[in-house]
Homo-oligomer: A and B are copies of this chain.
């Protein structure tokens, strides 16, 4: 066992995009807050350095997509849920606000098509250019989002 630092590392870790979102959504103001609120289908364009990791992805499967919401504010800890000023402010860890210390988006989507390094998915509320940082299978079909 290696020694474990007592507190959070001050420098953290480097997350590297594995793909980018290609979407008709181009700004935060027009993006739905969740994928099931009218978000469009979108393409994910993977870096060829991770092609092997993709090789078993098939159309029809449901996956969890993790994105890095690079337009978010990282110093926000309290928000109005869903950006609604009439709702009482809440700590970010009980909301899905994109503004949070590590602005990671979690999206459950269906794979619609796979064309080499390009993967089409359903109902993605992330905007054009958003970095994708991970793709994971849904463990229990119908029970993850």
Main secondary structure of the interface of A (DSSP, over half): loop
Map CB proximity to B onto A33-60 as digits: 1 under 8 Å, 0 otherwise. 0100000000000010011111111000
Number of interface residues of A (CB under 8 A): 64
Residues of B near A104 (CB, < 8 A) are 15, 66, 104, 133-134
Residues of B near A13 (CB, < 8 A) are 14-15, 68, 70, 131
Question: A102 with B12: in contact, given A26-B1, A56-B91, A95-B137 (CB under 8 Å)?
Answer: no
| A127 nearest CB across to chain B (Å) | 9
8 contacts between A and B (CB under 8 A): A8-B47, A9-B17, A13-B131, A14-B14, A34-B139, A55-B90, A96-B137, A104-B133
